[in-house]
């Protein structure tokens, strides 16, 4: 393991970089499997010590920000999925919240709780993937299998709620796509129990493991001052002793009503980042359990008898002008037309016709609902925030994830800017690996938890 003195010696005049140097230049990535196919690091080696390193990014550029300008405000949702594709729900909600701030609307209480629950499940999935992949790259393949097993428990929850596992497109400006399914709370508590069992196993396998600690302790360290100077946030900043977390510093949704701690370490090395992520998963599970216990039911709109009627009879009553209370009557729609039902829509979406699509019962059952639907879908109409700009930060799995949106009053964004938490750590990566052994490059890169989708965008 390299220490600070050796690093300074190797980067100083004693590093053999003067005349007659026999240093070897080696490219690591983008084809190297540990580089995820999208990072190229050009290293200068003196034996097995990395004297200098140049990190090149941009191999996964997808024009995310420019593509967001091509369609309506909700059309950007699938693009946000592809930012941090390990925890896409957080991306969805961060973007939605920025647009909602621009519109000046507030989502329902139930929606806030749903966003917190799904965000924390996503955060656990992200940390499980990071630690599992890092352990695998160090040879601990069993840990990888255990972590992926735990992630599967949580991905099943995500699939139950959103209908997908990875690219979920669950967020909507003004709410979410659908309510939580029946039995979700019980299934979630079982999944958290199983996840805790896996984390206990991993703690026994890794935390005190001599091989693991030899490869991680004192390696890839950044001081508190360097971490702040590089604008690094998230687990890497907290591993250096700074207890900054957007959920606590600038509370959003219902985080200020929930009890949780901000885990920190002081050494700022790879091992400290591992410990912080392990502790954060426990805190996320604690948040989910509290949110499930406190989530409100929200309003349920039905007629006084609650008896559904046939759509044809509904239309006949409308033609006769008997519209009193008609929009509160449940309809017996076929499954392909049911979609977002009225009761669920009222619980999870803001009561704002400028933004939220009407439930299918209204769209197919009344001319008002049909007109509302078309006005939000047709090109040139849609969601039209007032002229202005807004920035909204959320705590992503890797740090502060911010969305800056600009409106010119039209039906599509004038500008969408993403503040990715992965970029500052990659800017500092050369500092973390210079002076270390070439074998330490892989665990250090793994501890950064670079996600190419949000890094390159």
* Closest to 14 (Cα-Cα) out of 25, 5, 2, 3: 5
> From the CB of residue 401, how many other CB atoms can be counted at a distance below 10 Å?
29
Sign of the Cα torsion 93, 97, 98, 102 reads positive
Burial of 120 per CB tally in 10 Å (0-12, 13-18, 19+)? buried
Residue 145: which pLDDT band, with cuts at 50, 70 and 90? very high
**Looking at residue 89, what is its pLDDT?**
93
**What is the maximum alpha-carbon separation in the chain?**
96
**Looking at residue 162, what is its pLDDT?**
87
209: left (phi over 0), alpha (psi -120 to 50) or beta: beta
**Looking at residue 32, what is its pLDDT?**
76
Determine what percent of the chain is predicted with pLDDT higher than 70.
85
Residue-wise pLDDT for 364-387, tens only, equals 777 787 888 888 888 778 888 889
**Looking at residue 384, what is its pLDDT?**
87
**Looking at residue 300, what is its pLDDT?**
28
Residue-wise pLDDT for 82-109, tens only, equals 888 888 999 999 999 999 899 888 888 8
Place of tokens 């009557």: 329
335 pLDDT more than 90: no
What's the rounded mean pLDDT across residues 396-420?
91
Find out whether 46 and 15 touch, Cβ atoms under 8 Å. yes
DSSP structure string for 295-361 = ---------SS---B-HHHHHHHHHTT--TTGGGS-B---HHHH-S-HHHHHHHS-S-TTTSPPPHH
Angstrom distances, CA of residue 46 to CA of 12, 32, 50, 440: 13, 21, 7, 14
224 pLDDT more than 50: yes
Please state the domain extents for the chain: 4-56, 72-297+420-456
Q: Which residues contact 214 (CB under 8 A, 6 or more apart)?
A: 1
> From the CB of residue 106, how many other CB atoms can be counted at a distance below 10 Å?
14
**Looking at residue 179, what is its pLDDT?**
84
CATH number of 72-297+420-456: 1.10.645.10
pLDDT, mean over the chain: 83
CA distance 105 to 102: 8
CA distance 173 to 101: 10
**Looking at residue 309, what is its pLDDT?**
57
What's the rounded mean pLDDT across residues 352-361?
78
Angstrom distances, CA of residue 424 to CA of 230, 237, 407, 450: 6, 11, 27, 10
What's the rounded mean pLDDT across residues 31-54?
84
CA distance 131 to 215: 14
Find out whether 349 and 174 touch, Cβ atoms under 8 Å. yes
**Looking at residue 15, what is its pLDDT?**
47
DSSP structure string for 245-302 = -HHHHS--TTGGGS-------SS-SHHHHHHHHHHHHHHHHHHHHHHHHH--------
Residue 304: which pLDDT band, with cuts at 50, 70 and 90? very low
Please name the residue ranges forming H helices in 141-268: 141-162, 184-202, 210-216, 224-229, 235-239, 246-249
DSSP assignment letter at 140:
-
DSSP structure string for 356-370 = SPPPHHHHHH-HHHH
What's the rounded mean pLDDT across residues 135-146?
90
Residue-wise pLDDT for 409-444, tens only, equals 888 899 999 999 999 999 998 998 888 888 888 889
Residue 228: which pLDDT band, with cuts at 50, 70 and 90? very high
Angstrom distances, CA of residue 125 to CA of 84, 148, 153, 202: 12, 9, 10, 15
């Amino acid at each position: 393991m390299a220490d600070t003195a050796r690093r300074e010696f190797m980067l100083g005049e004693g590093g053999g970089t003067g005349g007659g140097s026999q240093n070897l230049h080696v490219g690591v990535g983008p084809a190297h499997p540990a580089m995820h196919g999208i990072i190229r690091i050009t290293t200068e080696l003196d034996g097995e010590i990395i004297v200098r390193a140049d990190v090149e990014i941009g191999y996964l550029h997808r024009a995310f920000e420019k593509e967001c300008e091509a369609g309506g405000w909700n059309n950007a949702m699938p693009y946000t999925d592809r930012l941090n594709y390990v925890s896409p729900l957080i991306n969805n909600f961060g973007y939605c919240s920025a647009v909602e701030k621009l519109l000046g609307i507030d989502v329902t209480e139930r929606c806030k709780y749903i966003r917190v629950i799904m965000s924390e499940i996503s955060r656990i999935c992200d940390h499980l993937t990071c630690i599992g992949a890092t352990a695998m790259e160090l040879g601990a393949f069993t840990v990888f299998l255990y972590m992926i097993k735990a992630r599967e428990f949580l991905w099943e929850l995500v699939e139950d709620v959103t209908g997908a596992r990875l690219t979920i497109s669950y967020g909507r400006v003004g709410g979410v796509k659908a309510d939580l399914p029946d039995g979700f709370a019980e299934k979630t508590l079982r999944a958290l129990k199983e996840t805790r069992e896996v984390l206990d196993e991993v703690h026994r396998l890794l935390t005190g493991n001599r091989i693991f600690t030899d490869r991680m302790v004192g390696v890839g360290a950044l001081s508190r001052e360097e971490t702040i100077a590089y604008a690094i946030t998230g687990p890497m900043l907290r591993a250096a002793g700074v207890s900054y977390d957007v959920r606590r510093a600038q509370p959003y949704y219902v985080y200020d009503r929930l009890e949780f701690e901000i885990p920190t370490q002081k050494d700022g090395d790879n091992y400290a980042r591992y410990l912080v992520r392990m502790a954060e998963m426990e805190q996320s599970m604690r948040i989910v359990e509290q949110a499930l216990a406190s989530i409100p039911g929200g309003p349920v709109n039905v007629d006084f008898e609650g008896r559904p009627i046939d759509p044809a009879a509904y239309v006949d009553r409308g033609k006769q002008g008997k519209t009193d209370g008609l929009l509160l009557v449940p309809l017996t729609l076929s499954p392909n037309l049911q979609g977002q039902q009225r009761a669920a829509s009222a619980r999870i979406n803001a009561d704002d016709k400028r933004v939220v699509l009407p439930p299918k019962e209204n769209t197919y059952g009344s001319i008002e609902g049909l007109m509302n639907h078309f006005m939000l879908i047709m090109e040139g109409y849609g969601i039209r925030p007032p002229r202005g700009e807004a920035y909204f930060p959320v705590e992503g799995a890797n740090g502060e994830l911010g969305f800056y949106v600009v409106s010119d009053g039209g039906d599509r964004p004038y500008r969408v800017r993403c503040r990715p938490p992965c970029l500052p750590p990659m800017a500092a990566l050369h500092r973390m690996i210079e002076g270390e052994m070439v074998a330490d490059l892989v665990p250090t890169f793994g501890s950064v938890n670079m996600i190419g989708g949000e890094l390159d965008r």
